[in-house]
Structure 1
Amino acid sequence: MKALVKTTAGPGLELADVPEPTVGPTDVLIEVKQTGICGTDLHIEGWDDWAAGHVTAPLIVGHEFSGVVVQVGQSVTDVAVGDVVSGEGHLVCGRCRNCRAGRRHLCINTRGIGVQLDGAFAEYIAIPSSNVWVHTNPIGFDVAAIFDPFGNAVHTALTFPMLGEDVLVTGAGPIGILAAMVSRHAGARNVAISDLSEPRLELASRLGVSVALDARQHKPQDAYAELGMLEGFDVGLEMSGSPVALRDMIGSMTHGGRIAVLGLPSGEINIDVATVVLNMLTIKGIYGREMFETWYAMSVLLQSGLDISGVITDRFDHTEFEKAFATARSGHGGKVIMSWEK
């Protein structure tokens, strides 16, 4: 089969012929239809310090995907051939304290598809049936392919109650925009979003945010009057990894405000702890998706009318992977997906 492979410890990927994966008794084989490019994939393709420290070549990359089940292991009873599926990219041990308590997203021994294990940028992928999410309601392969990042957004946005709240999202990348959309759908009164990219701010505006702020020209407080806010933001969703964005967010929260942080910074961040203490702010780190409560919430949000298809702005065939990665790396658009359909 064809697959995108990190063949050596260095920049670049290669579209190569590799053996089809084998299927164990508890695994399923999925014919991949669509895949999404994630920031993690950009790190691996570019081979930065993070990639060099976490990835061992050769490796099939990619973890955002949708497809159709074509084979199931002999012990699999809850997934069937023909099911339209997405996959949870974190494989957990099942034996650590958090796994045994039902908190699998906190597994201390987590391994990642496309990072430690062969991934989804291929014609076929085999994964444990326990990591498969079956789409029981009709859903397009393109939207199903971005359930992984959609889950990051849902996990972050629904960490704190949203009904009637004023929300600030810093970072208008695809996941930030998805988080803003989820916040509005969950009942937020206002949702402001900030970024440095004008095209991404325009996309966020088209997809329903209350106000989009160019962070080079505006502070979050500049939105108060336009949104009719008398105090600061109730909920903050930090999606950018920017030290400036987090500091600005802390300074614009109401007393008792709550901040969920998904964005990964490249280094340490200095913050005003006195403001956190005196204003009694809550700051919570978010990683991945709750398995599988977040997945249930994603499906219900779509069934209740949330349309996330607009966040997908660029589509390529997998043979055009170099163009696809360059587009994703530009930081000017929304989600980039690649087709593997024959």
Structure 2
Amino acid sequence: MTDTLPKMMKAVVKSQRAPGLELTEWPVPEIGPGEVLVKVRAASICGTDLHIYKWDEWAQNRLKPPFVVGHEIAGDIVRVGEGVTRVGVGDYVSLESHVVCNECFYCRTGREYICENTKILGVDRDGGFAEYVAVPAQNAWKNPRDLPLRIAVIEENFGNAVHTAMAQDVSAKYVLVTGCGPVGIMAIAVAKAAGARRVFATDISEYRLAMARQMGADVTVNVLEEDVVATLLKETCDEGVDVLLEMSGAPSAIDQGFTLLKEGGEVALLGLAPGPFTFDLNQHIVFKGAIVRGIVGRRLWETWYQTRGLLESGAVDLSHVVTHEFALDEFDAAYHIFMSGESGKIMFHL
């Protein structure tokens, strides 16, 4: 099997410092000791991939083309490097995209998710919008054979939602999720599974708000049509919310969320703001005694075990999260649908 691997493969590549991507021939990656080669069965688009496609300010400052795009990946191991014993050829895996050093202060103190030398697939090293991808063996998460591919391909992204929702106790709490993109709607499902009292969700898209309701939101608010603060104060009998899960990065949503937060409330911030903005630190955090956490990636590997538990128990159903499927050579059409806001997760078949 491994002796018949091709030398070249199809891949979606960021080939130059400009908007757009290119489908091209790319060398099949070599692997070294401790690494595995994965034949990609499916990959999905993330918000980071959209930054890369648009070539916005973040992308211009961070990226060094050319490289293969894509970091949400599922497939089968077809080759293993020297010293690899935990996984083997034929294993069906999802991939953790954060490649950590295992040597820095943070890795050595149990905080690998903020490793100071993190290299991200499809950002800092070749990713998985391709027929093959090489990763350290520890980044290959072995799946049960009966796990649907539509779930396996978004397992890593689901981990963002799990990390955000589980960063604080949401049981019996009023929870507000601001931003109902794919991670936001999955966080709603996690909060419900963890026993939230009620979950509220806000967005500007009726399509996404409908998905939020499907994933368990008790009340949804279109911020273009309703006064979010007034509506949710009424829904909570003027209590406000105990927990804010901020997924949008929109300054207005952040301000509304903190305004609704109770004294002593807790906040988990995953959304990325477009840049610096004015924020009332005194009223929103200091005088409220709020607890605020920044969320990066997934806790390695605690979050992955939590995702497995939520999926295997049936506590969270992700079967409706992937709404569109494309062949890899249809990537332009896939990106345009993703940009429209009229989709959940978008999946590539390889």
TM category (shorter chain) comes to over 0.9
Q: Which residue of 1 aligns with 2:325?
A: 315
Query: Pairwise CA RMSD of aligned residues?
Result: 1.2
Match of residue 349 from structure 2 = 339
Q: What amino acid sits opposite 1:334 in the alignment?
A: G
Identify the residue that residue 166 of structure 2 maps to in structure 1.
158
Q: What is the CA distance between 1:274 and its match in structure 2?
A: 2.4
Name the CA distance, whole Å, in 2 between partners of 1:98 and 1:229.
43
Q: Give per-residue Cα distances to partners, 1:252-276, cap 9 Å, x unaligned.
A: 1111110100000011132222222
Which amino acid in structure 2 is aligned with residue 218 of structure 1? D
Are the counterparts in 2 of residues 194 and 214 from structure 1 also a CA contact under 8 Å? yes
CA contact (8 A) 2:12 2:23 kept: yes
Q: Distance in 2 between matches of 1:174 and 1:6?
A: 24
Distance 2:176 2:127 in 1: 34
**Sequence identity, in percent?**
44
User: Following the alignment from structure 1 to structure 2, what is the Cα–Cα distance between the partners of residues 97 and 109?
Assistant: 10
Tell me if 1:298 matches 2:307: yes
Report the counterpart of residue 13 of structure 2 in structure 1. Answer: 5
Instruction: Tell me which residue corresponds to 2:274.
Output: 266
CA-CA distance at 1:230 after TM superposition: 4.7
Would the aligned equivalents of 2:189 and 2:216 in 1 still touch at CA under 8 Å? yes
Q: Which moved more, 1:134-143 or 1:63-72?
A: 134-143
Alignment of 1:204-283 (within 5 A): 204-216=212-224, 217-226=226-235, 229-275=237-283, 276-283=285-292
Report how far residue 229 of structure 1 moved. 3.9
- The aligned counterpart of 2:124 is 116
> Using the alignment, how far apart are the partners of 2:145 and 2:199 within structure 1?
29
Q: Cα distance, 1:285 vs. partner? A: 0.7
Q: CA deviation at 1:197?
A: 0.7
Q: Do the aligned partners of 2:112 and 2:299 also contact (CA within 8 Å) in 1? A: yes
Residues in 2 aligned to 1:310 and 1:269: alpha-carbon distance in whole angstroms: 35
Q: State yes or no: 1:328 paired with 2:345.
A: no
TM-score by length of 2: 0.94
CA contact (8 A) 2:188 2:199 kept: yes
Structure 2 gaps of 5+ residues are 1-8
Kindly provide the amino acid, as one letter, of the partner of residue 232 in structure 2: A
CA apart distance, 1:223: 2.7
2:186 matched to 1:173?
no
Deviation readout 1:3-52 (Å, 9 max, x if unpaired): 00111111111111111111212111111011110111111111112111
2-side partners of 1:219 and 1:211: how far apart? 11
Question: Which residue type is aligned with residue 228 of structure 2?
Answer: K
Stretch deviating more after TM superposition (216-225 or 53-62):
216-225
How far residue 138 of structure 1 moved from its aligned partner, in angstroms, is 2.7
Corresponding position of 1:65: 73
Give the TM-score normalised by the residue count of structure 1.
Answer: 0.96
- SS across alignment from 2:329: helix
User: What is the deviation of 1:240?
Assistant: 0.2
Please list the CA deviations of residues 284-319 of structure 1 after superposition, one character each: whole Å capped at 9, or x if unmatched: 111100011001100100011111121111111111
Q: CA deviation at 1:333?
A: 1.7
* 1:194 corresponds to 2:202: yes
1:137 Cα deviation after fit = 6.2
